[in-house]
Amino acid sequence: MLTETHLYQEIHEQPTVLATLLAREQQTAEQLAVAIRERNIDHVIIAARGTSDNAARYAKYLWGSRNRLTVGLATPSLFSIYKQPPRFGNALVLGISQSGKSPDIVSVLAEARKQGALTAAITNFPQSDLARQTEYVINLQAGLEQSVAATKTYTSELAAIALLSACMCQDTVMFDELQRVPSLVTEALVLGGDMQQAAERYCFMNACVTIGRGYNYATAFELALKLKELTYTMVEPYSSADFQHGPLALVEPRFPVITIAPSGALLPEMHHFMHHLQTLGAELIVVSDDNDALALARTPLPLPAGMPEWLSPLIAIIPGQLFAMHLAAVRDYDVDRPRSLRKVTETH
């Protein structure tokens, strides 16, 4: 039964994991925030792969908008293959990795430490190789994740990023909003309770795109990854802006477009974008808390009302995780063991 799989159980553990992280890791996040202020850090370089790289995309938007930090993604092969590491300058160099084992990510942090940069890690294994290279470690508090597809570690990474942002801002409103996230995730899981019916319609889908912008650019990438690894579907993620610069030519009648459009500053732009897609005959699958956006969808995937936009990626990925899991199940795939994949991937 699907409910007995590790993936199903780990998706439904997320409210508890998030509450645990927020309760246990605030002190470490505050200590790191103090170090960032004391050292006048003006930019952040993040080393990550896969799901963790998608979490880093969230950090680019959140820390850029709320904390006025320039955030870039490291190029690990410069460190591990070319042996030509760039100068970090006055940066925080952050490694994000569930396992903390991948040698290329570790090599970035080892070089940062050698250069004297401020270093930190977000990982589920605080005794890992990655953690040993850093001054500060935020523990994901996710417990053992047995399904190959990461779910609870991804949302926990997002929560760690959001928690650090609130600590840097010293904003009590942000802390209060963060405390609501576990209950909002619980509500999203309830709203997605009949996801099997939605997935059955797309049993024979062989290609689609996922669209998000702003904070939820990360969600588009993470949802695309989940669909690729669990359902073996060709899925490409885009921002709504980039999609109009060429990829729009992909759209033909009944072509599936999964659009993440929660309430917030970008919602009017996403409305305009989805109306345009409708004129081209696209079949819209819409993840939103906005009734007008959901009304545009052939397949609406509702979100809880009242989400702060800056935290919406932690909740908006939940329908995506459920959709990918159920689509894999209706195709009779093993949701815990996608073909050709291992839980820990070590790249060099």
Structure tokens at 321: 């995780």
Closest residue by Cα to residue 317 from 81, 153, 171: 153
- 343 flagged as catalytic: yes
Closest residue by Cα to residue 320 from 229, 206, 241: 229
223 Rama class: left (phi>0) / alpha (psi -120 to 50) / beta: alpha
Query: What is the residue type of 10?
Result: E
How many Cβ atoms are within 10 Å of 232's Cβ, its own excluded?
15
How far is Cα 195 from Cα 197, in angstroms, rounded to an integer?
A: 5
Q: Are strands 256-260 and 283-288 parallel, antiparallel or unpaired?
A: parallel
Query: What is the residue type of 36?
Result: I
Greatest extent of the chain over all pairs of C-alpha atoms, in Å: 56
Q: Is the dihedral of CA 60, 310, 285, 189 positive or negative?
A: positive
* 139 strand-pairing partners: 123
90 and 39 in contact (C-beta within 8 Å)?
yes
Active-site amino acid positions? 343
